[in-house]
Amino acid sequence: MTVISVVARGTARSAIGAEPVWNRIPAAIHDQIIELALEQSELSPRELAVQFTDEKSYFVSEASVYRLLKAHDLITSPAYVVIKAANQFHTRTVRPNQMWQTDFT
C-alpha cells in the first residue's frame, strides 16, 4: 500500500461524510436531560444522572451530564468563602510548653 492510496482512501472517506459515532448520546436524550435539569435545578450532575437513569432506564454518566449542562451554561460555580488570616493567634501562650501542637488547616 503506497502513501498515495492511503491519502486517496482518506479523501474518499471524507467525501462520503462523517461516519456516525457509536457512543454519542442522541439529540432526543440531550433534550430530555436538559429538560430534567431545568425542572430539577437544585440537583447536582451526579444526582441528575442517577435520576435520569432511574426514570428513563437509559444510562448517562455523570461526566456526560456535566459536559451537557456546562455547554448550555447550566453549571454554577460553587460559592467559596475566603478566610483571612488574623494578626495574632487566638489562643496565645503565656508560659513555655503550654501548647505543643498547632493545626494550621
pLDDT over 90 for what percent of the chain? 49
pLDDT digits (tens, 9 = 90+) for 56-94: 999 999 999 999 999 999 987 777 788 888 888 777 888
Is the Cβ–Cβ distance between 58 and 67 less than 8 Å?
A: no
- What is the mean pLDDT of the segment spanning 5-33? 76
**Residue spans per domain, the chain:** 22-77
Please provide the average confidence, as pLDDT, over all residues in the chain.
Answer: 83
User: Distance of CA 47 to CAs 2, 41, 80, 101, Å?
Assistant: 52, 11, 22, 41
Q: What is the largest CA-CA distance in the chain?
A: 86
Radius of gyration of the chain (CA): 27
Q: At 47, is the pLDDT very low, low, confident or very high (cuts 50, 70, 90)?
A: very high
